[in-house]
Amino acid sequence: MVIKTVVVLLVSLALPSVHLGEAQQQAKVATIGWLGNRPNSGEAVAGRGTVVLRQMLAELGYIEGKNIAFEFRFADNKLDRFPALTDELIRLKVDLIFVSDPNAALTAKNATKTIPIVFLLGGDPVEAGLVDSLARPGGNITGFTTISAVLAGKRLELLKETVSKLSRVAVLWNPRTSPQQWKESQLAAHELGLQLHSMEVSSADKYEGAIKEAAKTRGTALAVTQSPLNNSNQKRIVDLAAKNRLPAIYPRTDFVESGGLMSYGANRTEPYRRVASMVDKILKGRKPADLPVEQPTKFEFIVNLKTTKQIGLTIPPNVLVRADRVIK
């Protein structure tokens, strides 16, 4: 009888500690600092990327309010805000910083050597000074590049095949965020025998004048580079291109879904799925330096036939047959 009493007492003493351990495990919430450059502040308008990445993390078992939380900081296209926004996230002691802008990535890298950083960018992270190499990024940073700069040449090639007697392409790029894409466009244009017209746009109020100016020369098409500013003003760019009857190619499918003529770039879902996997590994103890920078394996060529009718263009059959998706 005495032995039973002792056992019951020991069990009763052990239970609170077990429950306390469970409570401590349940209370552990990983906080992700999200640093971006959308023109509007607040998570509700952060764009499709916010939704997709959160969905991918949910598939890996990260449920908001249970074991993961987000702190969103957006620069409203004012690059000088990144240092202060980064400092806010560091003071909050976030477990990881996710960045979708090259300037934000560089700011975060320079601001902390301890908090892991994961990026999703379009350019070359080695050339941008973010990592030592793709295979061995080094430091506390790694991520995914959609190699949009490399694909700039492919987009010019598709334009030339699509537009009869094309001789000139106006390239819409931001010197602050997409210089690599402009360089790659120049190299490709030389090989393709195309003249380039540089459209340097670093603020949204410059789009209308730049596109109107480009449309004045016959035989001109438009190539839009990937940048936070262009991505967040896609509807404005698409509408201006159609209004000025400019055949245009874009870096992402959502431009075409908004009425753009065609796009060629990395599959929109794959990068976020693989970034989510990186975040998962880092939160479970892996070091960013041990995770190679990843690149896309899936690419999409999308054509909008509604827009071809609107601007009076016929897509050659040999180009149309290569489309992964056609919007009719």
Going by C-alpha positions, the residue among 251, 231, 64 that lies closest to residue 149 is 251
Kindly give the interhelix angle for 269-283 and 48-59, rounded to the nearest 10 degrees.
50
- Residue 173 backbone dihedrals phi, psi, to 5 degrees: -145, 160
Give the pLDDT confidence score for residue 157 in this predicted structure: 96
Exposure letters 129-140 (e unless 16+ CB within 10 A, then b): ebbeeeeebeeb
pLDDT > 70? residue 115 = yes
Q: Are 35 and 82 in contact (CB under 8 A)?
A: yes
Three-class SS state of 163: coil
- Per-residue pLDDT band at 9 (split at 50, 70, 90): very low
Give the pLDDT confidence score for residue 171 in this predicted structure: 96
Going by C-alpha positions, the residue among 155, 201, 210, 206 that lies closest to residue 178 is 201
- Per-residue pLDDT band at 40 (split at 50, 70, 90): very low
Q: How many CB atoms lie within 10 A of CB 279?
A: 24
Domains of the chain: 25-145+268-290 (3.40.50.2300), 148-266+299-327 (3.40.50.2300)
DSSP at 263: E
pTM of the model: 0.81
**Above pLDDT 70, what percent of the chain?**
89
pLDDT > 90? residue 139 = yes
Residue type at 210 in one-letter notation: A
pLDDT > 80? residue 13 = no
Going by C-alpha positions, the residue among 66, 141, 59 that lies closest to residue 96 is 141
Q: Using CA atoms of 167, 180, 155, 275 in order, give the dihedral in degrees to the nearest 10.
A: -170
Q: Which of 70-79, 107-116, 271-280, 301-310 has the lowest mean pLDDT?
A: 70-79
Q: Are 38 and 46 in contact (CB under 8 A)?
A: yes
- Per-residue pLDDT band at 51 (split at 50, 70, 90): confident
Average pLDDT, the chain: 88
pLDDT > 50? residue 24 = no
pLDDT > 80? residue 99 = yes
pLDDT > 90? residue 225 = yes
Three-class SS state of 268: coil
Residue type at 208 in one-letter notation: E
Q: How far apart are CA 38 and CA 51, in angstroms?
A: 14
pLDDT, tens digit (0-9, with 9 covering 90-100), for 142-193: 999 998 888 999 999 999 999 988 999 999 999 888 888 999 999 999 999 9
Question: End-to-end CA distance of the chain, in Å?
Answer: 83
pLDDT > 80? residue 210 = yes
Q: How far apart are CA 39 and CA 181, in angstroms?
A: 22
The mean per-residue pLDDT over the stretch 255-272 comes to: 93
**Above pLDDT 90, what percent of the chain?**
72
Give the pLDDT confidence score for residue 26 in this predicted structure: 52
Going by C-alpha positions, the residue among 228, 222, 218 that lies closest to residue 242 is 222
Q: How far apart are CA 17 and CA 183, in angstroms?
A: 62
- Per-residue pLDDT band at 47 (split at 50, 70, 90): low
Contacts 24+ apart (CB under 8 A), 317-322: 318/161, 319/158, 319/161, 319/162
The mean per-residue pLDDT over the stretch 204-210 comes to: 93
- What is the number of alpha carbons within 13 Å of residue 65 lying toward its C-beta? 0
pLDDT > 60? residue 2 = no
Three-class SS state of 298: coil
